[in-house]
Amino acid sequence: MLSWKRLLYVLLLVTVVSCIFIIYNINEERAEHIQIMNMQEEAKEFTRARHMEDSARPRVWLVGEDRAGEEAHDEAGGGILANVRQIFENLHYIIIEEAYLDPERLGREELVVFCVDSVGSHTDLVKLEAFLARGGKAVLAAGLPEGSEDSYLWPVLGIREKSIRDNYNRLRFEEAFWPVQAEEMVYEGYNLCTWLAVDREAKVYIRDAESNVPVLYTMDYGEGRIGLVNGTFLSDIRCAGLLTGMVGALEGDFLYPVLGVKTVFLDNFPMITFLNDKACMRMYGCSTESFVRDVVWPAFQGMSLRTRTPYTSSVLAAASSEDSFPEINDSLFATIGKSALQFDGELVYAVNCKDTGDIFYNQGFIEEFRSVFVKYEIRGLAMQAGRFREELLAIPGTQIRAVRTSLDGEKAGFSCDKEYLEFPAATRGNSLEEGNLFSIASVLGAYGMVSHVFDINTLIAEDEGTASWDSDKEQIARFETDVLNRTPWLEGRVLSRTGDDLKSYLGLSYAWNREGDTIEIDCSNIILGQAFFFRTEGEIREAEGLDYEKAGENYYLLRLRQNHAVITMKDSR
């Protein structure tokens, strides 16, 4: 017979266990009907229109010819003119293109960019030398030709010896060049770079770390200055920062518009990965669900909180094949999806489709999503692969207002002239090695943005026999330390909230001028807070009509609060 004490003990035990199950069931029920809704973000205020005289706007002369056909872009050096044109369009320069340039037509201190390696075939070199001597500035953006056909320019460029071309990729930065840079970074593409020895007067910003060959440098000549991008880097739009950095090095003071935002995408998340529980238990000692929920997500969550960077998480909803859709763990999806939203993140659908052909929808997941996130409206679409086409917007139950494209797309992937905006992912990968850090730093220097994609499917395991988390978590920490921690002046954005920033960046007009220690900036059609980079070797003393903060050595990030702003520099004497 049970004593009263034992009976009370049993009753207490049953009560506790029952409460645990009740709480669990309540949480499960809540997970099935998550009430979070995405509120419409209030549109930012644009400044009033202000007439801008073309004579006041910055301008550049581009010299070269477009090569016809896709083959031209595939070969080394192909597409340089198109990329340089795109970069200056994004900088809102007035662009004057010439297949053959007459330097005598140019005014003093004008900027010329040669987008071909054979400069002598596109201008008179004697007249070019005279243009530089009287104060002109020139960039050789496509490297040098083989042989000695450009030998007349060797004294102008400070070249003492010149030899064959080679592929130089490990780059050492000897001077402050970008807002964020490491001492050494690797470029992963193929690049035809010429072996050179140059005079001591040359100011070398970047060298090949192994051969010591100058990769980017400037030379003073008379009252002017010339710069060489030694190689075919600019056939890759992700090297755009080499051009903006070069212009800044030639001009001394260089002010240009940027986006001023950071976006981080988590692809294939919060969906469970291909890794099964048996393999995960062998690799990490726990189930896949537990590992994603208790190890992977907290690592990203911590980075988000520490750096004020919200995530745009995507789940595959449309593909070219019905076999593309993995199984979904409902509990994990609901738990992490809810957590992502609570930290100001965004959930979007992802697409992995060929440029043409059938489109299959992940109908089961779409219905599951709508049953779990009953008040949440999908507004974003992330292109994982393939080119964007408007028929992809027809995913059931969505109101797509923003599409993640790629930086190598038309107009560099930026667009806001339709009912939806296009914002590019500039870089992707779980590692900063193999060229990623270089690309991130270059894009940041040119566009003032970080836009990076992590793929969760490959983050946990490359395959069922290769655990990758232990090494990849170190790369995530590096991304936080070397990128996000060094860019606190960028505003964190999810995909659908980049609209006003993008409209302002693409639609603005601006002019600026420096007289002594005073710089005046005029702008039109900008949001309050439009960002600019100001590259200078001086120091700002005070400013009216804008906020400013240091953004690395020799750079300031400006955010304009009025159409007209004035910067006063510290006395340079």
DSSP, collapsed to helix, strand or coil, labels residue 100 as: coil
DSSP string, 450-467: EEEEEEHHHHHEEETTEE
Q: What is the Cα gyration radius of the chain?
A: 27
Give the C-alpha separation, 520 to 546, whole Å.
11
Low-confidence stretches of the chain (pLDDT beneath 70): 1-52, 67-78, 270-275, 328-330, 409-410, 462-465, 572-573
Distance, in Å, from the CA atom of 172 to the CA atom of 432, rounded to the nearest integer, reads: 16
Please check whether residue 260 is in contact with residue 273, taking contact to mean a CB–CB distance below 8 angstroms: no
What is the maximal distance between C-alpha atoms in the chain? 114
Asked if 431 and 472 touch (Cβ cutoff 8 Å), the reply is yes
Going through 298-420 in order, the beta strands assigned E by DSSP cover: 311-319, 346-352, 360-361, 378-385, 398-406
Give yes or no for a contact between 254 and 554, defined as CB atoms under 8 angstroms apart: no
pLDDT score for 14? 55
Report how far residue 438's alpha carbon sits from residue 366's, in angstroms, rounded to the nearest whole number. 38
Nearest CA to 552 among 441, 387, 397, 472? 441
**Whether the model pTM is above 0.85:** yes
pLDDT at position 335: 77
Structure-derived torsion over alpha carbons of residues 300, 309, 92, 88, reported in degrees to the nearest 10: -20
Dist. CA 335–CA 270, nearest whole Å: 9
Output the six-digit token pair for 236.
Answer: 């890759």
Cα 131 from Cα 153, distance rounded (Å):
13
Question: What is the rounded (10 degree) CA torsion for 74, 77, 81, 85?
Answer: 80
Three-state DSSP class for residue 42: coil
DSSP track, 506-566: HH-EEEEEEETTEEEEEEES-BTTEEEEEE-SS-EEEEESEEEEE-STTEEEEEESSSEEE
The residue to which tokens 């400070």 are assigned:
158
Q: What is the pLDDT of residue 31?
A: 47
Rounded to whole angstroms, what are the CA distances from 316 to 66, 74, 454? Answer: 38, 30, 14
| Secondary structure class of 440 (helix, strand, coil) | helix
Q: Are 386 and 379 in contact (CB under 8 A)?
A: no
What's the pLDDT tens digit per position in 134-189? 999 999 999 999 888 889 999 999 999 999 899 999 999 999 999 999 999 999 98
Nearest CA among 156, 131, 134 for reference residue 227: 156
d(CA 213, CA 211): 5
pLDDT of residue 108: 86
Q: What residues are paired with 532 via a beta bridge? A: 257, 558
Tally of CB atoms within 10 A around 535: 25
Token pair 């007209």 is found at 564
Contact 223, 137 (CB under 8 A): no
Which residues are registered as beta bridge partners of 34? Answer: 373
Nearest to residue 391, comparing CAs of 353, 363, 426, 424?
A: 353
* 413 DSSP assignment: G
For 541, phi and psi rounded to 5 degrees?
-95, -45
* Residues 238, 426 contacting (CB under 8 angstroms): yes
